[in-house]
Structure 1
Amino acid sequence: MVATEFMSTEKNNLIFGIHAVEMALKAGDQVTEIWLQKDAQNKRLLNLLMAVEKSGLRINRVSLQDLDRLCNERHQGVVASIHAVHLKSEKDLKVALKQWDKPLILILDCIEDPRNLGACLRSADAAGVTAVVFGKDKSASITPITHKTAAGAVEHLELFQVTNLVRAIEAIKEAGVWVYGTALDEASMDIYQADLTGPVAIILGNEGKGLRHLVKQSCDHLIHIPMAGEVQSLNVSVATGVALFEVVRQRNLA
């Protein structure tokens, strides 16, 4: 089906960029409609058009200017509408904890930048995490920017958005999961000296302030990534990748 008029669309249900749309299409029934640059010559975009035509989805062939009005980010000639991401609750988390065997859980404490959130989710998917848990307040939500940066990870992760992060952490601990908070603190240990081979949750804190006090108090242990240079901190998404893949490394050697 081809149309030239934009439908009324919730902005937060839009994704953009060739790779993000390709991954959403592969995820199944995520995509509901697509807007594609009508005079595009990009080979990847034309291949995407062929895939969409085969799927039977509604295709809107529109001008570059129309796409710019629909999405003010670097869209690469394609924007898609998707079903709202299903974020599970704290209640769902408590049920899931009873079913997981030696989980690897990523907990994000007040990550404010949607790009950082997306990059953390991309690392989480690559590391094969069991679930990602984050709060409703003072945290970025799943936006089109998050989808773009996550490069398809959003559609494949178990995402839990909770009202009270400390309470969720306590539930995770009660399920027999060891909770490690990342913090450059006198009480923290070198991440490479910590035993991360069991059921583990890793907490990453806010881009500027790190872990909140109550969250830090809720941890079983504090860990840090040793720095060889003058810089004493990493971007939160980079730190997420380092921490998660250290868990993966240790588990592979165990």
Structure 2
Amino acid sequence: MPGNSQRRNRRVTSKKGAASGSGGKNKAGLAGRGRTLPADERPWHKGYSGTEQVPNRTAWKQEKERKAAAAEGRAPKIGKPGTKDTTWGRGGTGKKAAKPAKSTGRSGPRVAPGRKSATPRDAPELLVGRNPVVEALRARVPATALYVAHGIDIDDRVNELVRNAADRGIPILEVSRAELDRMTGGVLHQGVGLQVPPFAYEPFEDLLAASTEHAAPLLVALDGVTDPRNLGAVIRSAAAFGAQGVFLPERRAAGITATAWRTSAGAAARLPVSQVTNLTRAIKACQQAGFIVVGLDADGETDVYDLEAAVGPLVIVVGSEGRGLSRLVGETCDLRASIPMASTVESLNASVAAAVTLAEVTRRRSAA
């Protein structure tokens, strides 16, 4: 026989059997539902005239909606009985009412440990820990509030930070430990937290124009440095060795956070810092302004101690902690310089490499 009719366990009867009825279960679905009610007869419609009697179930839903609207401070989404409401889904001003903000159960910014904060970039940040808060206040980091938990152990650091905050006019708020736990997202805070405002970045065009007014301009660029402590250390070194500014990319790089503020020891308040959308484009703008761009690379062809271009307008580019300079940035640099080291050490920390190079540039300029 043709085909596979000889295979074992083949089906020899028709798979489809006789159609069975529903036993009258679908009879109601075939029946008509009557006429369609006009708008003025629908209790749930904004055009309801209010003259018809509202069913009990609809009246209960309307009363529930009125109570919810009163609690949220908005106009109800139903018409009042006996009246014609023209503010269906509106806030009474002819515009769609804004949805009320959901309560999160906390009164401050939350920074989850090990995760990126879900708060906007321009939201304030909370710096926690007794030593970090004391050091931030010593460095005169701008702050908007100091939170102190109830019943914490008073020591010299707590006395100093409270006295420092009071002298600077920073509001001191005493909160419960549970409230401070919610504000910090479970991070160890040691009973204190300092709220700092978002950092105000300098426009890159202004930073570049201001640097060219100096006899020997010096700028520092960061290519993908993601550790805020490295960022703060680079800013501190740049300020110490006479640089006129630091610029860094907006994405995939650390910004000026409370940790960077503290690591810079207040230098971020004195040295202009700029964020750029495209680092390669910003470097090319510096080159057009007459700068020589030197990228720090372990495999660079020039030794930093033989950097003759250090006496002129200079931009030092520091790569990220792991991969160093990116390909496009490395190709854009005029020179790539390396720091000679012993064979037992492969590379230096990004902030240390920047400090060594800046120190050598300052030495060459003072000797010129």
Cα distance between partner residues in 1 of 2:270 and 2:187: 24
TM-score, length basis structure 2: 0.60
1:190–1:224: 8 Å Cα contact kept in structure 2?
yes
1:215 maps to 329
> What secondary structure does 2:280 align onto?
helix
**Cα gap change, 1:85 to 1:111, in 2 (>3 Å):** same
Cα distance between partner residues in 1 of 2:194 and 2:342: 43
> What secondary structure does 2:144 align onto?
strand
2:235 maps to 121
2:222–2:317: 8 Å Cα contact kept in structure 1?
yes
Match of 2:306 among 179, 193, 204: 193
Shift of 1:151: 3.0
**Cα gap change, 1:65 to 1:224, in 2 (>3 Å):** farther
Shift of 1:215: 1.0
2:168 maps to 55
Cα distance between partner residues in 1 of 2:238 and 2:255: 16
Specify the code of the residue in structure 2 equivalent to 1:120.
Answer: V
1:90–1:163: 8 Å Cα contact kept in structure 2?
no
Which aligned pairs between 1:52-131 and structure 2 lie closer than 5 A?
52-62=165-175, 66-71=179-184, 75=189, 77-131=191-245
Shift of 1:225: 0.3
- The answer to whether structure 1 residue 35 and structure 2 residue 35 are counterparts is no
1:3 maps to none
Number of equivalenced pairs: 246
1:239 maps to 353
In the alignment, structure 2 segments of 5+ residues that lack a partner are 1-105, 110-118
2:158 maps to 45
2:249–2:276: 8 Å Cα contact kept in structure 1?
yes
Specify the code of the residue in structure 2 equivalent to 1:56.
Answer: G
Match of 1:22 among 131, 134, 137: 137
Shift of 1:198: 2.4
Bigger relative contact order, structure 1 or 2, given CA contacts below 8 A and separation 6+? Answer: 1
Over residues 64-114 of structure 1, what are the superposed CA-to-partner deviations in whole Å (9 max), with x where a residue is unaligned?
Answer: 565454335565653222221111233333433443431221110011222
Cα distance between partner residues in 1 of 2:124 and 2:301: 38
> What secondary structure does 2:193 align onto?
strand
> What secondary structure does 1:44 align onto?
helix
- Which 10-residue stretch deviates more, 138-147 or 57-66? 57-66
> What secondary structure does 1:31 align onto?
coil
Which aligned pairs between 1:144-223 and structure 2 lie closer than 5 A?
144-185=258-299, 188-195=301-308, 196-223=310-337
CA RMSD of aligned residues (A): 2.6
2:365 maps to 251
- The answer to whether structure 1 residue 8 and structure 2 residue 108 are counterparts is yes
1:15–1:148: 8 Å Cα contact kept in structure 2?
no
Q: Hey, which of these two has a bigger chunk of helix by percent?
A: 1
Over residues 187-215 of structure 1, what are the superposed CA-to-partner deviations in whole Å (9 max), with x where a residue is unaligned?
Answer: 52111111212222111111111111221
Matched residues, percent identical?
Answer: 37
